[in-house]
Structure 1
Amino acid sequence: MDYQAYLFDLNGTIIDDMQFHARAWYDILSNDLKSDITFDETVLQMYGKNQELLERVFGKGYFTQEQIDKLSMEKEQRYQAEYKAHMKLIDGLGDYLENAKSKGIKMAIGSAAIPFNIDFILDNLHIREYFPVIVSANDVALSKPHPETFLKGAELLGVAPSACVVFEDAPKGVEAAQNANMKSVVLTTLHEPADFNAYSNILTFTANYQNLNIF
């Protein structure tokens, strides 16, 4: 079918930066907070909001809200400091965005990232013009795999959920798209296709946007 809108997750989908996030979180969790979590276990916990990750690892009520906010910002600052020199779009995405724009396809960001990180990416890569709608962690009450992020993006774009394609890199993100009645394209930047066996809404797997033809 002809899709009317694209909803992009940010990290691991527009940029290949999830290893940088993982290293920043692992540094915080293991060195600062003295958790015995492994790096691989850290990767598995990297979905949803920063507060939710901390609560999954340590339990609700372990930190005050002030502590959570401070840890969250410290993690993002470490991530940005390490990643900025490596920042670039996933191969082929620049042309893909321009092609979609020329076809009149509406586009939005639907991410569990905070605005501090979304602005960091969009402004440094000069791609804000493609995304008139941005749904961040601050804009939803319920994180992925709940469909709120993508349903809100579709609503703001004025497009029915069934006419949207979600670009994701994480199983929980694909699950959120499925819960929103949306198809997904999966970027294999962090996960293997086998990690998505539970989902029936996937159009294709791809390492990048070169030669991708989903319109």
Structure 2
Amino acid sequence: MANAKRAFIFDMDGTIVDNMAFHTRSWLEFFARRGKEYDPDAFFRETAGAQGREILRERLGPDIPDDEIAVLAQEKDALYREMYRPHRAAIQGFEAFVSAADAQGVALAVATSAPPKNIVFTLDELDLRRHFATVVGAADVKQGKPHPDVFLKAAEQLGIDPADCIVFEDAPMGVEAARRAGMRAAVITSTLPAEDFKEFDNVIAIVGDYDEIAVDELLARL
């Protein structure tokens, strides 16, 4: 990585693993236990890419103490892990794609809104962390997407200029965060259709999975 001049930065949920439906289901169950009902599609579109603590404050009120927010977030995430555990798997073609990128000298990172336990649940328990030079999560930045903080921190840790980074995302808030970071984006349509990203001028590829795109094709678009 020391001589890398370009980087691929991956969101995790919905981009490395196809798990966003389980996040939505766990959020809806969490709020249903508190007498709050939301439309699943609208909830996903409004929250995908945001940090859990941001979602909790928006839906439950801004005056809840930080320690209570932390406990509530742990409850929701435990529910998510219980729901998703039997289904965990990398998206089709992912490991072959990152191996090909690494072989071509591309620096690799994860930049996610997930908390530490969920990162371990996905990257470590699926043995995927070994592919990445650095992993940046919700605990490492103050603001979640669409703020660019998590992507900029990943680029900084890799030592790569933002203009030489391609972000892999599945949600509009994540693509907007990449745009604000000055980065191009490749979209994985694991949870939303291609037309949901038509307004973004930083999107250079839209695919269903990693078998549909080659490292060379993406690098050429930088």
Q: What displacement does 1:124 show?
A: 1.6
Residue 3 of structure 1: CA displacement? 6.9
CA distance in 2, matches of 1:46, 1:101: 28
Is the partner of 1:210 in helix, strand or coil?
helix
Q: State how far apart, in whole Å, the 1-side matches of 2:200 and 2:133 are.
A: 29
Give the TM-score taking structure 1 as reference length. Answer: 0.94
The partner residue of 2:51 within 49, 52, 59 is 49
CA offsets, 1:98-154, max 9 Å, x none?
Answer: 111111110111000011101111112111111121110011112111111111110
Please tell me whether residue 144 in structure 1 is matched to residue 153 in structure 2.
no
SS of residue in 2 equivalent to 1:185: strand
Note the 1:29-44 alignment, pairs <5 A. Answer: 29-30=31-32, 32-44=33-45
Report % sequence identity. 35
AA aligned opposite 1:201:
N
Deviations 1:31-61 (A, max 9, x none): x211132222321223311111112223311
1:28 counterpart (5, 27, 30) = 30
Unaligned runs of 5+ in 1: none
**After the TM superposition, which of the residue ranges 52-61 and 16-25 deviates more from structure 2?**
52-61
- Count residues with an aligned counterpart: 212
- The whole-number CA distance in structure 2 between the counterparts of 1:56 and 1:205 is 30
Matches within 5 A, 1:44-83: 44=45, 45-61=47-63, 63-83=64-84
Q: 1:19 aligns with which of 14, 21, 25?
A: 21
Once the 2 structures are TM-superposed, how far is the Cα of residue 74 of structure 1 from its aligned partner?
A: 1.1
| Partner in structure 1 of residue 154 of structure 2 | 153
- Distance, in Å, in 2 between the alignment partners of 1:54 and 1:100 is 37
**Partners of 1:13 and 1:166 in 2: CA distance:** 10
Cα distance, 1:211 vs structure 2: 3.3
TM-score, L = length of structure 2: 0.91
> Following the alignment from structure 2 to structure 1, what is the Cα–Cα distance between the partners of residues 7 and 72?
35
Is residue 2:16 matched to residue 1:7?
Answer: no
C-alpha separation between the residues in 2 aligned to 1:47 and 1:9? Answer: 9
The 2-side partners of 1:181 and 1:144 are apart by: 14
- Tell me which moved more, 164-173 or 38-47: 38-47
C-alpha separation between the residues in 1 aligned to 2:5 and 2:90?
23
Aligned partner letter, 1:57? R
**2: CA distance between counterparts of 1:93 and 1:3?**
21
- Name the counterpart of 1:167: 168
What are the Cα deviations for residues 165-203 of structure 1, in whole angstroms up to 9, with x where unaligned?
Answer: 000000000001011111000011111222223310001
Work out the CA distance in 2 between the residues paired with 1:139 and 1:104: 26
CA contact 1:185–1:203 (8 Å) conserved in 2: yes
Counterpart residue type for residue 13 of structure 2? N
C-alpha contact (below 8 Å) 1:137/1:143 kept by paired residues:
yes
Amino acid at match of 2:71: K
Q: Alignment partner of 1:56: what SS?
A: helix
- Kept after mapping to 2: 8 A contact 1:46/1:53: no
SS in 1 for 2:85: helix
